[in-house]
């Protein structure tokens, strides 16, 4: 039996799979806890998978002089529910780098918001037995590729039935810090990836916000930022890069002038849009939204330089 | 704490270790009691208080009943036990349902009454442990059992972790006797206990959760978009899921207890191989059906003593099954499910009375037909058990007898459902009149090894998502 187990594990490792933690509510809760525990030293990243894969943890820490950031971004995650949770937490006194993805930040995305709210609620309601169970699960997930959800019975069944052998994804593995580093060398064909993404985008019908909704959102964001500032923290709004095929569509439904520029003009928040910086504007995600690991390093380095220049971050120790 | 969790594996290993230490029997029972409270508190610690209330009240009531010869006093103490246990159950499980229906009722008369929905959390396993303690009080009242001689023993009878949250519903006479003298599993019991744990987890994690649950959830959550074939496949899948889920839990409970040297009653015995509904209820959730028979059906019959005609028996049977349905959940779907089974049982008793003597009805061909009819009707009744609402249930049933297009379930999943459900049915028919342990022990070693190794390997290799057991919600 042991032989069978070891063989199965080695087979998938030989096919390029690596152990990865499940990026679930309990793993998010561990990071969220740190955001409060670290007090005024906490640097927190909030947003979607763009933020999860767009920032290189060590590079950002080295170049800003900040402690390593806490990753609270999540796949398809609108920033607002997490920002709301941080603002309401009297114990949170850190700095937030908040991703502004126009559709997720300003659009009508109730389904995604509910998903994030559930994860946030799970943090508030988690019990010690759940934490203990999660620690045990992490031990297994971090050691065995056979615990990957990508190797679940459904995937294996499809592999057998349709001859579709599961392959490792380029989006990277999840470690305890929840950062992901994409490796586009694992993508067999970038044009094919673009075709798939264009098809997926074509199936999504964005729902823009009304003026009243926008005003309410601006006011809420400002109030949240003020609450965090009042405790000694800060919020910096960041627009991470998009590939032309995503940007084109986003601009059509969410014109920058109506959303980002209005937001920037109406609030006195710190904000950084990648297109406003010639170096950042050159770093484009190959799959539309997510930077590769080398790009994430470059992006983090340049972002850190801007943060230091504006006096938000202290800069690297001399 | 879920049996299908890593925490349980650590917890159970610690309990086994403690139980094997050379400690006095009283200390070992104390360990088991503390472990059982920990097991329960792992879900929601404050609700342990409810367990203490139920334990304390029934200990007191049964003790006072045994100490007095006054029928009036005995009835009073029984009433106390019923009031507290059914009161807890009623409040936590049925208050919201009762309020919802009360609001609907008064609105029929033009009253615009809109109370805030009560925010009541259903304590885990309350339906099981209240029935268990009630059986103790009722059997002491009836003089069928003597009260426990030790509070520790009684508390452990109520709280014993393998059966605490989802049964089997153990009777005091089955368990208290096992606490009188030290018990420790012998090698055979320990081995078979571990095998049952393995089989139970395999049924739950692999068969119920990995193979069948996704199909069931997709169709029952999108009843409006389902086609006829979807409705049939999802309902067949649910028949398998609910059996593997609850049967798996029962196997784990019995196995875990056996590893500690305790024998719990069988809860499932190849129910889908039943011939007729009476036979089905002798095989499905046996400890609940015998509880309902002994404490509800017989009580209803005895209320009408001297007038025990067929109509009275039929009425009592119907009421018992409706209450049995309601026990499963505070919803009209469960009430209808219970009523359907009640009606089937009455019809079956009627047919047996009318045609029981005719030789044809004892022929092999008719028995096969009756078995087939039983399973089809059982599966159809499960639509009410699983559907989110009565409307959904009626819609899905209508779909099953129409030719509606729609394909929520793919071809491969259909094959999977039929293979798993077919294998389940074939196994149950093969084991219908046999004991699983005896059959397994007769296997040659070359067959025993893979029969055990395949479930173990599957459990180790499949990344489960730790769904709770279906019967936890009851």
Identify all chain B residues contacting A174, using CB atoms and an 8 Å cutoff: none
**Considering only CA atoms, which of B175, B162, B165, B173 is closest in space to residue B138?**
B173
pLDDT at position A122, please? Answer: 93
Closest by Cβ to A157, choosing from B6, B412, B453: B412
Identify all chain A residues contacting B456, using CB atoms and an 8 Å cutoff: 1
Three-state SS sequence of chain A:
CHHHHHHHHHHHHHCCCCCCCCCCHHHHHHHHHHHHHCHHHCEEEECCHHHHHHCCHHHHHHHHCCCCCEECCCCCCCCHHHHHHHHHCCCCCCEEEEECCHHHHHCCCHHHHHHHHHHHHHHHHCCHHHHHHHHHHHHHHCCCHHHCHHHCHHHHHHHHHHCCCCCCCCCCCCCCCCCCCECHHHCCCHHHHHHHHHHHHHCCCCCCCCHHHHHHHHHHHHHHHHHHHHCCCEEEEEECCCCHHHHHHHHHHCCCHHHHHHHHHHCCCEEEEHHHCCCHHHCCCCCCCCCEHHHHHHHHHHHHHHHHHCCCCCCCCC
Identify all chain B residues contacting A152, using CB atoms and an 8 Å cutoff: 210, 462-463
Domains, chain A, in order of start with CATH, read 39-124+171-309 (3.40.50.1110)
Neighbour tally for B94: CB within 10 Å:
17
Can you list the residues of chain A whose pLDDT is less than 50? Answer: none
Identify all chain A residues contacting B214, using CB atoms and an 8 Å cutoff: 154
Classify burial at A224, counting beta carbons within 10 Å of its beta carbon; exposed 0-12, middle 13-18, buried 19 or more: buried
- CB within 8 Å: A4 and B457: yes
Which residues are registered as beta bridge partners of A70? Answer: A44
Q: Which residue has the tokens 């044009």?
A: A191
Q: What is the pLDDT of residues A67-80, one digit of tens each?
A: 999 999 999 889 99
Residue A307 sits at φ, ψ, to 5 deg, of: -60, -40
- CB within 8 Å: A5 and B416: no
Q: Which residue has the tokens 């009523």?
A: B339
DSSP assignments along B364-416, one per residue: HHHHHHHHHHHHHHHHHHHHHHH-SSHHHHHHHHHHHTS-----SS-HHHHHH
- CB within 8 Å: A157 and B206: no
DSSP, collapsed to helix, strand or coil, labels residue B344 as: helix
DSSP, collapsed to helix, strand or coil, labels residue B128 as: helix
pLDDT at position B404, please? Answer: 82
Closest by Cβ to B463, choosing from A8, A136, A151: A151
Which one of A6, A133, A143 makes the best mutation probe of the B interface by having the most chain B beta carbons within 10 Å? A133
Torsion sign (Cα): B358, B370, B337, B433: positive
Phi-psi region of B270 (alpha: psi -120 to 50; beta: other; left: phi over 0): left
Report which secondary-structure segment, H or E, holds B296: none
Q: Please list the helix, strand and coil fractions of chain B in percent, rounded to the nearest 5, in that order.
A: 75, 0, 25
DSSP, collapsed to helix, strand or coil, labels residue B122 as: coil
Can you list the residues of chain B whose pLDDT is less than 70? Answer: 304-308, 463-474
- Could you give the angle at the alpha carbon of B414 between the alpha carbons of B413 and B417, nearest 5°? 85
Q: Tell me how far apart the alpha carbons of residues A311 and A301 are, in angstroms, rounded to a whole number.
A: 15
**Its pTM surpasses 0.95:** no
Q: Tell me how far apart the alpha carbons of residues B370 and B445 are, in angstroms, rounded to a whole number.
A: 37
* ipTM for this prediction: 0.77
pLDDT at position B16, please? Answer: 95
**Considering only CA atoms, which of B81, B88, B74, B39 is closest in space to residue B59?**
B81
Residues A284, A34: contact at Cβ < 8 Å? no
Count Cα atoms within 13 angstroms, Cβ side, for B357: 2
Residues 6+ apart with CB under 8 A from A13: A145
Question: CA–CA distance from B232 to each of A170, B238, B380, B406, B443 (Å)?
Answer: 40, 10, 9, 12, 36
Look up residue B474 and give its two tokens. Answer: 């009851």
Identify all chain B residues contacting A132, using CB atoms and an 8 Å cutoff: 7
Residues B56, B155: contact at Cβ < 8 Å? no
Residue B77 sits at φ, ψ, to 5 deg, of: -70, -35
Question: CA–CA distance from B167 to each of A42, B11, B38, B264 (Å)?
Answer: 48, 19, 17, 9
CB of A3 within 8 Å of any CB in chain B?
no
pLDDT at position B467, please? Answer: 57
- Widest CA span in chain B: 72
C-alpha distance from B412 to closest chain A C-alpha (Å): 8
Q: Which residue has the tokens 């999504």?
A: A204
Look up residue A284 and give its two tokens. Answer: 């484009």
DSSP code, position B4: T
Count Cα atoms within 13 angstroms, Cβ side, for B140: 28
Q: Are strands A234-239 and A270-273 parallel, antiparallel or unpaired?
A: parallel
**Helix (H) and strand (E) counts in chain B:** 22, 0
User: B interface toward A at CB cutoff 8 Å?
Assistant: 1, 5-7, 10, 42-44, 206, 210-211, 214, 412, 416, 453, 456-457, 460-463, 465
**Considering only CA atoms, which of B142, B163, B154, B178 is closest in space to residue B294?**
B142
Closest by Cβ to A147, choosing from B1, B10, B463: B463
pLDDT at position B306, please? Answer: 58
Q: In what order do the strands lie in the sheet with A43-46?
A: A70-71, A43-46, A95-99, A234-239, A270-273
């Amino acid at each position: 039996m042991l032989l069978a187990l070891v063989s199965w594990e080695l087979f998938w490792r030989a096919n390029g799979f690596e152990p990865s933690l499940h990026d679930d509510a309990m793993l998010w809760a561990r990071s969220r806890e740190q955001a409060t525990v670290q007090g005024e030293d906490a640097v927190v990243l909030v947003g979607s998978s763009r933020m999860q894969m767009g920032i290189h943890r060590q590079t950002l820490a080295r170049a800003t002089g900040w402690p390593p950031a806490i990753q609270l971004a999540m796949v398809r995650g609108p920033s607002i529910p997490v920002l709301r949770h941080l603002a309401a937490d009297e114990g949170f006194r850190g700095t937030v780098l908040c991703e502004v993805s126009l559709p997720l930040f300003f659009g009508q995305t109730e389904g995604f918001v509910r998903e994030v709210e559930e994860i946030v609620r799970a943090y508030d309601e988690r019990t010690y037995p759940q934490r203990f169970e999660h620690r045990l699960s992490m031990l297994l997930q971090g050691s065995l590729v056979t615990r990957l959800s990508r190797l679940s019975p459904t995937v294996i069944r499809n592999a057998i039935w349709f001859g579709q052998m599961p392959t490792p994804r380029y989006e990277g593995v999840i470690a305890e810090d929840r950062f992901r580093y994409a490796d586009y060398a694992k993508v067999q064909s970038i044009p094919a990836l673009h075709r798939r993404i264009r098809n997926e985008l074509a199936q999504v019908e964005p729902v823009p916000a009304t003026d009243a909704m926008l005003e309410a959102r601006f006011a809420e964001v400002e109030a949240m930022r003020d609450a965090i500032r009042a405790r000694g923290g800060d919020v910096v709004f960041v627009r991470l890069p998009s590939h032309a095929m995503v940007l084109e569509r986003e601009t059509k439904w969410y014109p920058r002038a109506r959303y980002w520029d209005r937001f920037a003009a109406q609030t006195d928040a710190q904000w950084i849009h990648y297109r406003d910086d010639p170096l950042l504007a050159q770093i484009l995600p190959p799959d539309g939204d997510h930077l590769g690991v080398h790009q994430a390093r470059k992006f983090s380095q340049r972002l850190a330089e801007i943060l230091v220049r504006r006096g938000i971050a202290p800069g690297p120790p001399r | 704490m879920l049996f299908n969790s890593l925490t349980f594996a650590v917890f159970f290993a610690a309990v086994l270790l403690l139980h094997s230490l050379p400690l006095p029997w009283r200390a070992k029972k104390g360990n088991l009691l503390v472990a059982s409270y920990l097991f329960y508190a792992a879900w929601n610690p404050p609700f342990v208080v409810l367990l203490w209330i139920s334990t304390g009240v029934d200990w007191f009531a049964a003790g006072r009943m045994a100490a007095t010869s006054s029928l009036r006093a005995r009835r009073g103490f029984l009433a106390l036990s019923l009031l507290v246990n059914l009161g807890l159950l009623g409040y936590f499980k049925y208050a919201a349902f009762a309020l919802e229906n009360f609001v609907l009722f008064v609105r029929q008369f033009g009253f615009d009454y809109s109370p805030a929905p009560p925010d009541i959390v259903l304590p885990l396993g309350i339906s099981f442990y209240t029935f268990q303690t009630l059986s103790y009080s009722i059997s002491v009242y009836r003089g069928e059992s003597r009260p426990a001689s030790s509070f520790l023993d009684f508390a452990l009878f109520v709280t014993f972790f393998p059966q605490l949250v989802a049964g089997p519903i153990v009777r005091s006479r089955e368990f208290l006797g096992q606490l009188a003298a030290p018990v420790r599993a012998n090698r055979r019991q320990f081995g078979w206990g571990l095998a049952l744990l393995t089989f139970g987890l395999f049924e739950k994690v692999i068969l119920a959760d990995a193979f069948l649950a996704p199909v069931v959830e997709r169709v029952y959550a999108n009843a409006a978009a389902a086609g006829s074939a979807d409705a049939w496949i999802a309902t067949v899948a649910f028949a398998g899921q609910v059996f593997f889920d609850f049967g798996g839990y029962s196997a784990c409970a019995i196995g875990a207890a056996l590893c500690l040297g305790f024998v719990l009653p069988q809860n499932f015995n190849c129910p889908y191989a039943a011939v007729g509904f009476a036979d089905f209820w002798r095989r499905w959730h046996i400890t609940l059906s015998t509880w309902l028979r002994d404490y509800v059906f017989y009580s209803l019959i005895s209320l009408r003593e001297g007038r025990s005609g067929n109509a009275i028996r039929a009425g009592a049977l119907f009421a018992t099954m409706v209450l049995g349905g309601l026990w499963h959940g505070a919803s009209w779907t469960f009430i209808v499910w219970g009523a359907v089974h009640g009606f089937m049982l009455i019809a079956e008793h009627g047919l047996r009375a009318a045609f029981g003597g005719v030789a044809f009805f004892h022929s092999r061909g008719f028995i096969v037909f009756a078995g087939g009819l039983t399973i089809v009707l059982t599966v159809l009744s499960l639509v009410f058990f699983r559907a989110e609402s009565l409307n959904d249930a009626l819609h899905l049933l209508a779909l099953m007898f129409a030719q509606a297009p729609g394909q929520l379930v793919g071809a491969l999943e259909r094959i999977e459902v039929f293979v798993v459900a077919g294998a389940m049915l074939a196994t149950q028919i093969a084991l219908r009149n046999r004991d699983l342990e005896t059959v397994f022990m007769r296997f040659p070693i070359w067959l025993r090894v893979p029969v055990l190794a395949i479930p173990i390997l599957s459990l180790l290799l499949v990344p489960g998502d730790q769904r709770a057991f279906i019967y936890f919600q009851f």
